[in-house]
């Protein structure tokens, strides 16, 4: 019998030209002119465009302060320092994320303690936070992972109860909402990357936003030496002229120029991405083994630009078919987009978090920075550790094209309905 699956010789599900639907970022003559204007003025190392971009960002987020950085990693590190993280201190975050969420805590003399995530959302589980808080805990860093909004209300309640700061990592979710509120505005600081692959893209860069003047000024003092003379803090202003962190973290003005242009058009581009991605999941509603990774549509929460979009996999509904084999079969049905199993490597199992002596302490840095062994070996986060076999990438559509989206949905449905051919 002739197989219906492309991986076994059958026809592919995706036949349409998909070369444009995944192209990102969208670069227009407006972006090009913004960059050329900086070049023509010889203003690449200035600050005027960056100041203007920060004003745009503050207005977009509805907060008093925005501070641009050369990377999102730097923005999160500055946010940590602003929140008082130092030698021997701890931050709580999730293991299922990019290392830039928390690894830089090492440079401040602190360490990270990992909590579990909710399997349906892939975001921090508020119920697993409180028992991990110690007298050394300074901050909680929830990640709106793969654009899914973290359940922020209970996290903020925990933080208030224990006098902790909350740093939102919004790198995957610019423009997303949690119960109608913009992500990045709920915690004490929102920090994020806007490198060229992100939903809001500027080339290379990051920024933080906050309503708190003290936190803003501390972040300035940490990595922005040229701004320290403008600080009002009696603690920080006498130290003007040098960054307390010893870092030069300002954003390149070419990135600032691109960021201003991109932000201007981001709401409508984000809306189109949301329309496309929700249409994709609507087409797959009820397909066995395939579970949407998105908030309920009546929740007031949204996925922003859907960066690093994922799907959830239920192998028990497909006879135990491994996710890698499922992805291989779906990819065979598709055009240029490759469907990959899993997600970011789990941080708590990586040798850098367990074995590396980064600063020459004579013992692993994670131990040295806390004077006790906070390492979390295999088996310590069973929920998180069970997730790699239940996650896969999905097409990240940047435009709404019903034909192409429909064909990609057909690819997933086709493999799910004929999974027995892959056993």
Chain centroid, CA 77 distance in Å: 15
Chain centroid, CA 186 distance in Å: 16
Using DSSP's 3-state secondary structure scheme, residue 195 falls into strand
In degrees, to the nearest 5, what angle opens at C-alpha 317 toward C-alphas 348 and 143? 30
Q: How many CB atoms lie within 10 A of CB 402?
A: 10
- Give the Cα separation of 215 and 54 in Å (integer): 16
Is residue 190 within 8 A of residue 171, CB to CB? The reply is no
Is residue 236 within 8 A of residue 104, CB to CB? The reply is no
Annotation says 198 is catalytic? yes
Selected catalytic residue, list 138, 165, 198, 310: 198
Using DSSP's 3-state secondary structure scheme, residue 17 falls into coil
Q: What is the DSSP letter of 143?
A: B
DSSP 121-134: TTEE-GGGTGGG--
Measured CA to CA in angstroms, residue 54 lies from 5, 68, 93, 210, 339 at distances of 51, 7, 27, 12, 36
Q: For 122-216, where are the E strands, in sequence order?
A: 123-124, 137-141, 165-169, 177-178, 181-182, 189-193, 206-210
DSSP 22-72: T--S---HHHHHHHHHHHHHT-TT-SHHHHHHHHHHHHHHT-SEEEEESSH
Token output for 103: 């690894």
Helix, strand, coil abundance in the chain, percent, nearest 5: 40, 15, 45
Ramachandran quadrant class, 300 (left: phi over 0; alpha: psi -120 to 50; beta: rest): left
Whether residue 11 is preceded by a cis peptide bond, meaning omega within 30 degrees of 0, is: no
> Which residues touch 366 (CB under 8 Å, ≥6 apart)?
106, 111, 353, 354, 374, 375
Is residue 172 within 8 A of residue 308, CB to CB? The reply is yes
Q: How many CB atoms lie within 10 A of CB 211?
A: 15
**In the chain, count of helices (H) and strands (E)?**
11, 14
Q: Which residues have a catalytic role annotated? A: 198
């Amino acid at each position: 019998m002739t197989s219906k699956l492309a991986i076994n010789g059958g026809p592919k599900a995706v036949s349409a030209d998909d070369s444009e639907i995944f192209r990102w970022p969208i670069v227009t003559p407006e972006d090009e002119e913004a960059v050329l204007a900086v070049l023509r003025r010889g203003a690449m190392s200035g600050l005027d465009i960056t100041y203007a971009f920060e004003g745009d960002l503050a207005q977009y987020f509805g907060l008093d302060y925005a501070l641009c950085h050369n990377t999102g990693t730097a923005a999160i590190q500055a946010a940590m320092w602003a929140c008082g993280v130092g030698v021997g201190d701890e931050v709580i975050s999730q293991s299922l994320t990019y290392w830039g969420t928390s690894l830089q805590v090492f440079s401040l003399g602190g360490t990270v303690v990992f909590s579990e995530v909710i399997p349906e959302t892939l975001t921090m589980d508020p119920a697993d936070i409180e028992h991990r808080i110690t007298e050394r805990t300074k901050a909680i860093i929830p990640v709106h992972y793969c654009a899914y909004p973290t359940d922020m209300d209970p996290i903020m309640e925990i933080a208030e109860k224990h006098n902790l700061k909350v740093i939102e990592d919004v790198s995957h979710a610019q423009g997303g909402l949690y119960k109608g509120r913009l992500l990045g505005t709920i915690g004490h600081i929102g920090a994020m990357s806007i490198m060229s692959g992100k939903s809001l893209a500027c080339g290379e860069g990051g920024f933080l936003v906050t309503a708190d003047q003290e936190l803003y000024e501390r972040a300035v003092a940490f990595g922005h030496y040229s701004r320290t003379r403008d600080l009002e803090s009696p603690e920080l202003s006498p130290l003007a002229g040098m960054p307390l962190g010893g870092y030069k973290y300002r954003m390149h003005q070419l990135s600032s120029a691109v960021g201003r242009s991109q932000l201007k058009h981001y709401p409508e581009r984000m809306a189109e991405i949301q329309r496309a991605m929700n249409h994709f999941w609507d087409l797959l509603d009820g397909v066995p083994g395939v579970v949407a990774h998105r908030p309920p549509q009546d929740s007031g929460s949204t996925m922003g630009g859907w960066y690093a979009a994922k799907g959830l996999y239920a192998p028990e509904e497909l006879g135990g078919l491994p996710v890698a084999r499922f992805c291989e079969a779906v990819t065979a049905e598709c055009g240029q987009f490759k469907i990959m199993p899993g997600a970011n490597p789990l941080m708590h199992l990586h040798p850098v978090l367990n074995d590396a002596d980064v600063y020459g302490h004579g013992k692993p840095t994670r131990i040295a920075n806390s004077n006790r062994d906070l390492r979390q070996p295999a088996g310590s986060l069973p929920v998180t550790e069970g997730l790699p076999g239940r996650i896969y990438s999905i097409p990240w559509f940047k435009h709404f094209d019903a034909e192409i989206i429909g064909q990609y949905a057909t690819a997933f449905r086709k493999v799910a309905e004929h999974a027995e051919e892959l056993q």
